[in-house]
Amino acid sequence: MNVASPRAPVRRDSACPSEQGLNETVMTSSLDEIQTKGEPLEQEIHLLKSVFEAIRDPLFVLNRKGEVLKVNPKGGELFNTSPEELHQMLFVDLIALDDRIAFQEGIEAMERGEEISLNLHVVNRMKEEIPVLCFGSLRGETYCLTLLDQREEIRRVKEWERLKQELTEKIREKDQYARELQVMRDLFRERTREVEKMKEEALLLSYTDDLTGIYNHRFFIQQLTLEVERQKRYGSPLSLLMIDIDYFKHYNDHNGHLAGDEALKGIALLIQHGVRQSDIVARYGGEEFGAILVNTGKREAMEIAERVRRLVAETAFPNEKEQPNRDLTVSIGVATFAPPIATLTDLIREADNALYRAKRAGRNRVEG
């Protein structure tokens, strides 16, 4: 009898091929799903990191204890400290002592849900105090703080203040210069007026008789020359009076030179009153006077001469009763520029001749 051989035993500790494949499929599917979901998250984290590092102002993230959880590169640059070192510090330790109370008040404000804006001073590794403007708010369980370095702004403000001060000083200097210049101009104008006045006075003195104050012989001849030329050009009438004090030497000898000088001054004044304002009266020399009568014909000149003679005769002078004719009088010769008179010399000669005739006829009279 044949005896059948025994069956080999079946192993129970290993999975069958079909179960193993199933497990591998499930594991592969889970890894793919995790990878699929993780890639966007990783990309987002990378993006946030890039944005965080790209922020141009120092940015700090603190926990509720005030510890630095995160800081961007600009924060490290501000304090001249690596981010790793800053992560081991309390943010309040970076603030100047005088500003810590203000920062603590800012923390309390952020706890109440407020956004803060504080002017603070932070201290870097070299113990330099840096002015910053701190903006902060509470986001969940973290404080987000942004610091704006104010050094450049302060420098610009100081530079602006310096420039403004310089401008103000320049304006002040300009105003001062303008005032000084105006003073100099006023002084110059005043001096100019004084010089012009002195010139006028000097000119007047050069044309004025020292004793009587009327025009002198030089000015008389100059003006008579001009009037003669004007008469020749335009034909306007022109007359001349030559006036001489009668017996003046007798008056001067008996009363003295001082009395004689007073008589000369008085008669000069009377002549000026007797002629018109437009006429020119001068001391021709000694006791003789001349009067240029512009725009005046012979008849009117004779009337003016008579008025002058009468004024002198009717005026009382000291001791005039001792004069030969018992009065201090004048004789007047009148000449008018008309043919045969053709030159200045002719006009003066004719007036002198008329005066001579008045003297010969008894004095105290007018001849023309």
Q: Which long-range contacts (CB under 8 A, 24 or more apart) does 146-151 make?
A: 146/55, 146/57, 146/58, 146/59, 146/60, 147/57, 147/58, 147/59, 147/60, 147/75, 147/78, 147/122, 148/57, 149/57, 149/58, 149/78, 150/119
**From 169, 200, 227, 287, the catalytic residue:** 287
Residue 165's SS3 state is: helix
Which residue is listed with tokens 């001249």? 80
Which residue is listed with tokens 């051989």? 5
Question: Which pair of tokens denotes residue 261?
Answer: 């000088």
Q: Is residue 53 annotated as a catalytic residue, yes or no? A: no
Cβ burial, residue 167 (10 Å; 0-12/13-18/19+): exposed
Torsion 178-182-187-191 (CA) sign:
positive
Provide Rg for the chain, Cα atoms. Answer: 62
Which regions of 84-155 does DSSP assign to beta strands (E)? Answer: 116-123, 129-139, 142-149
Alpha carbons 166 and 168: distance in angstroms, whole number: 5
Residue 351's SS3 state is: helix
Helices (H), 275-317: 298-314
Query: Around Cβ 78, how many Cβ atoms within 10 Å?
Result: 21
Question: What one-character DSSP code corresponds to residue 118?
Answer: E
Active site residues: 287
